């Protein structure tokens, strides 16, 4: 039976570890210029009903490396623009013998809905304000490369946590793997207490990022200004910008992360975005390897998927019991 990756919340830490190890294996092979062999060819539909650069391109790259065939659907050029429902679109793709789906949609829960109609492997590429699991996997891989473990790390997630699927997936993943998660930002952008997200809330930037090993900024969704949730971008910048000055309070070797797209000069200054602490480019590149792992994993039945090539056994990533 195939599997889905609809979110991190319901993924076991063993599965997260398996996906990260597989990502590391793929990265090693690609960097060594070795071909990926032994992976059965599949036809995957990429359904992006919402704008994307990083996620869409890295899924395409991942599929290319795996030797998969890809059909890319954009809402504007599909029959959705003529009023076809998500259910009928998904059933049509099933009828067209598409074997797996990767989907981004603005509605929370849409990936689950698509999986219920499609039946086969589905990977959530971001659904509304719910989850963005492959972003969190790529972020975890990036942190692991620099810090060797996630266990015991202090990670501040700064900005619009309330509306962020990236924050949700990262909070679940990091806490499952033993990191301490902090949510930092104005009260109005913090999760409601009944969201039950794992993490401590800090409404001031400096106490929130103090001694943190990782400072993960979120995109300030300018559309929230229109909602009247924030008084001004200038005020947000003054109180919450991660920059050369404010980063002095974080750990000296802190990693600065951002899922993109960035509002340069708002969530972070140029020094934070491009300077020695930034791992933003690594996050982008690692997106390819975790998506290779995600695609292989969902197509494999229960049990450890094999990357095809024979690989040296890697040490396990430390996980919370």
Residues that bind ligand CP (CB under 6 A): 52-55, 126, 132, 135, 259-261
- Euclidean distance between CA atoms 170 and 131, whole angstroms: 9
Residues in the chain: 321
Judge contact between 24 and 141, C-beta under 8 A: yes
* Strand runs labelled E in 36-129: 43-48, 69-74, 100-105, 122-127
Q: Which is nearer to ligand CP, 51 or 200 (CB)?
A: 51
Closest approach, Cβ 102 to ligand CP, in A, equals 11
- Euclidean distance between CA atoms 310 and 104, whole angstroms: 33
Angle of the 165-176 helix axis to the 133-147 helix axis, nearest 10: 50
Q: Which is nearer to ligand CP, 52 or 309 (CB)?
A: 52
Closest approach, Cβ 58 to ligand CP, in A, equals 8
Contacts for 242 with CB less than 8 Å, ≥ 6 apart:
158, 205, 209, 215, 217, 256, 267, 268, 269, 272
Closest approach, Cβ 211 to ligand CP, in A, equals 27
Q: Which is nearer to ligand CP, 29 or 155 (CB)?
A: 155
Closest approach, Cβ 112 to ligand CP, in A, equals 19
Query: Which tokens is 305 given?
Result: 């998927």
Q: Which is nearer to ligand CP, 76 or 193 (CB)?
A: 76
Query: Which tokens is 96 given?
Result: 């067209």
- Euclidean distance between CA atoms 221 and 160, whole angstroms: 7
Number of H helices, E strands in the chain: 11, 9
Q: Which is nearer to ligand CP, 124 or 135 (CB)?
A: 135
Give me the torsion for CA of 215, 221, 225, 228, rounded to 10°: -90
Closest approach, Cβ 119 to ligand CP, in A, equals 26
Closest approach, Cβ 59 to ligand CP, in A, equals 9
Q: Which is nearer to ligand CP, 175 or 283 (CB)?
A: 283
Q: Which is nearer to ligand CP, 105 or 132 (CB)?
A: 132
Closest approach, Cβ 83 to ligand CP, in A, equals 26
- Euclidean distance between CA atoms 170 and 257, whole angstroms: 12
Query: Which tokens is 291 given?
Result: 């998506």
Judge contact between 252 and 99, C-beta under 8 A: no
Q: Which is nearer to ligand CP, 57 or 188 (CB)?
A: 57
Closest approach, Cβ 87 to ligand CP, in A, equals 24
């Amino acid at each position: 039976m195939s599997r889905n990756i609809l979110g991190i919340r319901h993924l076991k830490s063993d599965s997260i570890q398996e996906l990260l190890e597989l990502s590391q294996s793929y990265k090693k092979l690609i960097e060594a210029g070795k071909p990926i062999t032994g992976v059965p060819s599949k036809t995957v539909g990429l359904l992006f009903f919402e704008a994307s650069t990083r996620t869409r391109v890295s899924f395409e790259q991942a599929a290319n490396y795996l030797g998969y065939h890809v059909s890319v659907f954009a809402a504007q050029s599909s029959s959705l623009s003529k009023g076809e429902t998500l259910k009928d679109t998904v059933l049509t793709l099933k009828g067209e013998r598409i074997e797996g789906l990767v989907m981004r949609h603005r509605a929370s829960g849409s990936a689950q809905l698509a999986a219920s109609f499609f039946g086969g492997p589905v990977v959530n590429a971001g659904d509304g304000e719910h989850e963005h699991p492959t972003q969190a996997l790529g972020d975890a891989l990036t942190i692991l490369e620099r810090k060797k473990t996630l266990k015991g790390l202090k990670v501040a997630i700064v900005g619009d946590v309330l509306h962020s699927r990236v924050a949700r997936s990262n909070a679940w993943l990091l806490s499952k793997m033993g990191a301490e998660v902090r949510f930092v930002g104005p009260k109005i952008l913090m999760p409601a207490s009944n969201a039950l997200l794992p993490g401590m809330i800090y409404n001031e930037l400096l106490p929130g990022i103090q001694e943190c090993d990782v400072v993960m900024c979120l995109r300030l969704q300018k559309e929230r200004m229109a909602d009247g949730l924030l008084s001004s971008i200038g005020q947000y910048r003054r109180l919450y910008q991660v920059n050369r000055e404010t980063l002095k309070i974080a750990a000296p070797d802190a990693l600065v992360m951002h899922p993109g797209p960035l509002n340069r000069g708002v969530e972070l200054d140029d020094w934070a975005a491009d300077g020695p602490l930034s791992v933003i480019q690594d996050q982008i590149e690692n997106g390819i390897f975790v998506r290779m792992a995600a695609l292989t994993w969902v197509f494999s039945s229960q049990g450890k998927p094999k990357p095809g090539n024979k690989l040296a056994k890697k040490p396990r990533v430390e996980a919370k019991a």
